[in-house]
Chains A and B, each alone.
Chain A
């Protein structure tokens, strides 16, 4: 097992090196960069004594962009390994500091929708599988497919339209309402919680479909297995067959999938956060990208890459944990 993990970790490192290189090259060759925008702005200012080209040159040197791609990447990598990701250009604070400020909003939002996703999708998947081709199955499938197919921005805007604008139950975005300042701590908690409802709902709606379909397919497979037939033949009650024999085996692949998506809780929800004005990591990194803030974007993408690799790693390990057959290989 240890050997397996070490081997996987080493592969991850190599993959990460190249992924980050690709990301760096992409960032480097963006047609319009923060530096360029800034240079243009500075050159257009009244009384500016330099042309945009001169500003660009100066700023490039200032931001270390005057080195070649490869050398620049190595410089970045060297400090990144030490945990120094530099100062964000757009936010003018150290990248990691900004990250710590905002990541928890995303995490909480992600966690809430993750929990609801599990609570809703898995039982629905099992029910749909048990009653394959019934009205229940079709209804669940259609509804979840709608959830998958509708783009996040559409779902979010519809929810806002109905619950915030028409019904006025929630606010259209943000984190706190106008009276937040003079509420009791408990009131403030519920105020913030209320602001989480719509974004969490959005994320849940768009994510349950996938997990539901996955659970349904796996449950169907298990239900067709020999040992289920045996269990039924033994005369066990249907609930016992499903809840005890079938469900536990269905869980094997599901656990690996869920384990793999755990790191994703930190990556933020770019579109949802944007639409609900939640200053989480998704929105902040989006703003950083739009402004061509290379240090922040590099950090964020490095972070996402690590999370993704970590996700697959956790999946693999969990797979080995729950399914002894994997460990043997």
Chain B
């Protein structure tokens, strides 16, 4: 009996030990959590009032907090809390050029003064180059007390320009004088061989490759070329069999080449090379392409059979410095661009990172081309990716328990912030609003949906988004939604820019446009508006309703007469749009059967069936899904089959866009401060073009548009640029390749109870977030 008791006792003891260990384990974690905290509070524990902490509900961080490598928007916010950029922007996104003295700019009827740490003077030289003369304040210190000088700024620019830099900044893409020479010196072997071939040099006597490798390349070149030629032959034999394309020779004849009967693809290729020489450009060999670029064939061939030729070699000729970045004093430098680039000013205000922290002061010697790190070795910078340091309003303390902790930087140049600690706390999106309402957070950015709007009103016990509990700020999202139509796949007779082709696309565009208002309103409610030009409302270049020549997109018929009248209801508008669409289809050459009221035949190169690809998760969840289905129903009535393909996996769409196989699709563009259109609408960015970024999914190739885009980006005069972009927008709309759909809004919510709303920066915009003037932000006294 006693023994049994003992056993029970032991069992009990064991159980309690187990339980205790649970708590011990918890407790053991504690010191780790609080080490940073005690550091923070060591000096001023007594001052803490509880209300002296601002908690911001955030989505998850990736812990890339360095200003050089921060990638996600949330990580970038952490970086920007801690660091200071040379130049800032105003509420409209324009760069403040006289930050030292402060610049007064009006927004929404109020005059605001914008202070910064530097001035920038832009000088257009007579030789076409442009100097950005940057002068910074001489009294700025980093949060660790080290003074900031121009050397830190130069170090930062060299990090961004390093050949191995792989962060998200594209500073290196600016036409900075001598930048290419600095980054150059590394090329793929085959490119060197090819360059020698093209230049007619002896490929047996190179220092960078062997004669065998040159021979290998020729083999790869011919193998790729044979496939290139074969593609042409295959294309002719499938599409032009009626015109006598039955073998290589007959196909080549259609392509304008004379070959002997029985010739092979290799012979055909030899002829092509004989015609153009070693020139892969679109005016060279690639002029003959039947779809796939010759460079693609070569790349494939090299990857498959001669990978060694694709590797990079150091060619030696690499400049030791960037001639366009010149130190002109202890607190000034000049960045020289070889040409006018309107987008450059936004890139001049880079973050000034402390060289003594991210790099090595010992490795800095400006006169001897040493810039704080060894060229090509960013390891010291990368080592600090999770621990940012700078001259921003707050100091980074740590990231633990899913919380980024900041402490105020008393050395901040605008004065010490009012709130001692700021916490960025990770939470799920669904918790953001609840968190602010229940007191876990003070500020957050929930993605705004009808439900969120409803809940905010409930919390406020009123019909307002701003009330006793929650204060809501909505700002336009930097970007917009659109429906795209590829001019390569949707045209008449294979001609992308003929009037017929444009009419065909306008038929669709007119119909899509008609349904936008109803559909967008039911999906987004008041959180989005329909836009009439393919540009984000946030841009200064976006045409405003009051502007001259402002029009509702696709609201005229084929004769240029207005489709809609003011007294039409929705049904009448849809019908009017359908009639206008019929007019456009007819003008495109479609055969109309009056008896059945349907189109019975499509013109050459066009079709009665088109596909609308929409990444709506396979369940129709997309802002313009309703547009697609409504248009499809309406078109069915007139004999046109618009198949709606709802993708569960959106990557299918991107692949199709890259391959130019998509016909009609829905997507959205993210925008930047500058309205530069080069990347999306310039003909050099059409997929498949040599050196293209594949972003011109519409395959718009318009010489006038190209010219205007280049003209606009090479001017620094904003009113000229705005007028030019309006012309560009009109041309794009005329191509009917992009139907502007919606401008979405984002929101930021504050706890009205805890945050002193008077101290929040007024007039928050897309470019002027709530974190501006954060040093002035105050909490309300804690309610007792």
Q: List 27 A-B contacts (CB under 8 A).
A: A32-B651, A43-B693, A46-B173, A47-B170, A47-B343, A47-B679, A49-B693, A51-B692, A52-B658, A57-B299, A107-B25, A108-B25, A111-B22, A164-B434, A165-B434, A168-B438, A168-B439, A172-B427, A173-B427, A173-B428, A173-B440, A174-B401, A176-B401, A178-B50, A181-B48, A182-B41, A193-B26
**Contact of A185 with B34 in the complex, beta carbons under 8 Å:** yes
Residues from 147 to 175 in A contacting B, C-beta threshold 8 Å: 164-165, 168, 171-175
| CB of A45 closer than 8 Å to a CB of B | yes
**Contact of B403 with A188 in the complex, beta carbons under 8 Å:** no
Taking CB atoms, residues of chain A closer than 8 Å to B538 are none
Say which residue of A40, A49, A175 sits within 8 Å of B173 (CB atoms).
A49
| CB of A192 closer than 8 Å to a CB of B | yes
| CB of B745 closer than 8 Å to a CB of A | no
**Contact of B29 with A172 in the complex, beta carbons under 8 Å:** no
| CB of B89 closer than 8 Å to a CB of A | no
**Contact of A189 with B50 in the complex, beta carbons under 8 Å:** no
Say which residue of A47, A165, A182, A188 sits within 8 Å of B438 (CB atoms).
A165
Residues from 174 to 201 in A contacting B, C-beta threshold 8 Å: 174-182, 185, 188-189, 192-193, 196
Indicate with 1 or 0, residue by residue over A56-71, a CB within 8 angstroms of chain B CB atoms. 0100000000100000
Chain A contact residue count (CB 8 A cutoff)? 57
Taking CB atoms, residues of chain B closer than 8 Å to A112 are 22
Knowing A115-B22, A192-B33, the reply to whether A174 touches B695 (Cβ < 8 A) is no
Inter-chain CA distance A42–B170, complex, in Å, is 9
Interface range, B side: 35 or more
Q: Which residues of A contact B (CB under 8 A)?
A: 31-32, 36, 40-53, 57, 66, 90-93, 104-105, 107-108, 111-112, 115, 164-165, 168, 171-182, 185, 188-189, 192-193, 196, 274-275, 277-279, 287
| Nearest CB in chain A: distance from B33 CB, A | 7
Task: Kindly report which residue of chain A lies nearest to residue B652, judged by CB atoms.
Answer: A31
Inter-chain CA distance A174–B691, complex, in Å, is 47
**Contact of B402 with A277 in the complex, beta carbons under 8 Å:** yes
Say which residue of B421, B670, B674, B694 sits within 8 Å of A53 (CB atoms).
B694
| Nearest CB in chain A: distance from B70 CB, A | 11
Taking CB atoms, residues of chain A closer than 8 Å to B50 are 178-179, 182
Q: Which residues of B contact A (CB under 8 A)?
A: 18-19, 22-23, 25-27, 29-31, 33-34, 37, 40-41, 45, 48, 50, 53, 55, 60, 62-64, 69, 168, 170, 173-174, 299, 303, 343, 385-386, 401-403, 405, 421, 423, 425-428, 431, 434-435, 437-440, 649-652, 654, 658, 670, 672, 674, 676, 679, 687, 691-695
**Contact of B386 with A93 in the complex, beta carbons under 8 Å:** yes
Say which residue of A92, A105, A178, A192 sits within 8 Å of B423 (CB atoms).
A178
**Contact of A172 with B63 in the complex, beta carbons under 8 Å:** no
**Contact of B25 with A115 in the complex, beta carbons under 8 Å:** no
Knowing A51-B687, A90-B62, A189-B27, the reply to whether A179 touches B53 (Cβ < 8 A) is yes
| Nearest CB in chain A: distance from B511 CB, A | 29
| Nearest CB in chain B: distance from A201 CB, A | 15
Inter-chain CA distance A115–B692, complex, in Å, is 61
Taking CB atoms, residues of chain B closer than 8 Å to A189 are 26-27, 30
Task: Kindly report which residue of chain A lies nearest to residue B61, judged by CB atoms.
Answer: A91
**Contact of B654 with A52 in the complex, beta carbons under 8 Å:** yes
Taking CB atoms, residues of chain A closer than 8 Å to B64 are 92
Inter-chain CA distance A275–B429, complex, in Å, is 10
**Contact of A192 with B30 in the complex, beta carbons under 8 Å:** yes
**Contact of A92 with B25 in the complex, beta carbons under 8 Å:** no
**Contact of B173 with A180 in the complex, beta carbons under 8 Å:** no
Taking CB atoms, residues of chain B closer than 8 Å to A48 are 170, 173, 679, 693
**Contact of B25 with A185 in the complex, beta carbons under 8 Å:** no
Task: Kindly report which residue of chain B lies nearest to residue A280, judged by CB atoms.
Answer: B402
Say which residue of B23, B401, B440, B670 sits within 8 Å of A44 (CB atoms).
B670
List of 8 A-B pairs having minimum Cβ-Cβ separation, nearest first: A47-B173, A47-B170, A175-B401, A51-B694, A279-B402, A182-B48, A32-B651, A277-B427
